[in-house]
């Protein structure tokens, strides 16, 4: 939310905006142009935070203390996934829930979380974040057709693993690559007859450090 809109909501907690002109409101938030004030009021109206009449007089304000609280979503946590060799057994039992702001999820509800084990992905770049030991990764379990260079949750011999996905279109061979400051992590090579599946795409990282 724009900082001016946050200021307007804070003012609405103690002042009746319907009794103030756009210029008066603008002085309170440091804006000299009434049309800019009008724009931010309209944006708050679109978001459902204010109810306005045709003349932009505020008829009703939602309690700002409630509006400013982030909406949280409970994401189920299904155990751990290894960032090195696939040695953390994949689990289908919910071990807990992770509370995350809904604004981080882009309205995607086809997700679950896993705790990352190891540092073989500590140079990955998922929306500007790496994956370090102990971090939570958010997985879109509906997205099981990755493109090259996507980060995926793979299941190899019933073990969960987080890697970068690369497929050779000539021989259908799949490489699962590490991205680490430690170069001692060879790629995992997957052939079509291996006990292997993609269980989703990694979309977010929730840092724990």
Q: Which of 39, 35, 13, 41 is nearest to 23 (CA)?
A: 35
Q: Which CATH number belongs to the domain containing residue 89 in this structure?
A: 2.10.109.10
Q: How confident is the model at residue 53 (pLDDT cuts 50, 70, 90)?
A: low
How far is CA 145 from its chain centroid? 20
pTM for this predicted structure? 0.64
How high does pLDDT run on average in the chain? 83
150 vs 68, residue with greater confidence: 150
At 64 the pLDDT is: 45
Residues 24 and 40 in one domain: yes
Q: Say how many domains are in the chain.
A: 2
Residues 51 and 82 in one domain: no
Q: In sequence order, what DSSP letters do the residues of 73-106 get, joined into one string?
A: EEEEEEEEEESSSS-EE---S--EEEEEEGGGTT
Q: Which CATH number belongs to the domain containing residue 42 in this structure?
A: 1.10.10.10
Instruction: Taking residues 52-80, report their average pLDDT.
Output: 62
Residues 140 and 198 in one domain: yes
Structural domain span for residue 28: 3-67
**pLDDT per position as a tens digit, 155-175:** 998 889 999 999 988 887 899
- Residue ending a domain, among 44, 67, 90, is 67
Residues 168 and 186 in one domain: yes
- Residue ending a domain, among 67, 96, 120, is 67
**pLDDT per position as a tens digit, 11-42:** 877 777 777 788 888 888 888 888 888 888 88
At 44 the pLDDT is: 80
Residues 80 and 16 in one domain: no
Residues 86 and 48 in one domain: no
Residues 117 and 176 in one domain: yes
Residues 34 and 105 in one domain: no
- H or E stretch including 13? helix 3-14
Q: Which of 117, 110, 147 is nearest to 131 (CA)?
A: 117
At 56 the pLDDT is: 52
Instruction: Taking residues 43-55, report their average pLDDT.
Output: 69
At 55 the pLDDT is: 55
Q: Are 64 and 1 in contact (CB under 8 A)?
A: no
- Residue ending a domain, among 26, 43, 67, is 67
């Amino acid at each position: 939310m724009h900082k001016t809109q946050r200021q307007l909501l804070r003012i609405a907690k103690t002042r009746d905006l319907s009794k103030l002109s756009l210029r008066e409101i603008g002085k309170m938030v440091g804006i000299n142009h009434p049309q800019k004030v009008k724009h931010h009021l309209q944006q708050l109206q679109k978001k459902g935070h204010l109810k306005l009449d045709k003349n932009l007089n505020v008829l009703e304000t939602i309690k700002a203390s409630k509006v400013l609280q982030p909406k949280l979503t409970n994401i189920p946590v299904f155990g751990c996934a290894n960032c090195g060799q696939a040695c953390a057994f994949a689990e289908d039992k919910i071990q807990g829930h992770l509370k995350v702001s809904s604004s981080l999820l882009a309205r995607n509800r086809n997700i679950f979380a896993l705790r990352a084990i190891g540092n073989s992905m500590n140079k990955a770049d998922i929306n500007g974040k790496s994956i370090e030991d102990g971090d939570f990764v958010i997985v879109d379990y509906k997205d099981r057709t990755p493109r090259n260079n996507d980060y995926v949750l793979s299941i190899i011999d019933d073990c969960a693993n987080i890697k970068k996905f690369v497929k050779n279109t000539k021989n259908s061979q799949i490489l699962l690559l590490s991205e680490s400051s430690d170069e001692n992590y060879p790629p995992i090579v997957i052939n079509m007859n291996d006990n292997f599946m993609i269980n989703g795409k990694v979309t977010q990282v929730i840092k724990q450090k």
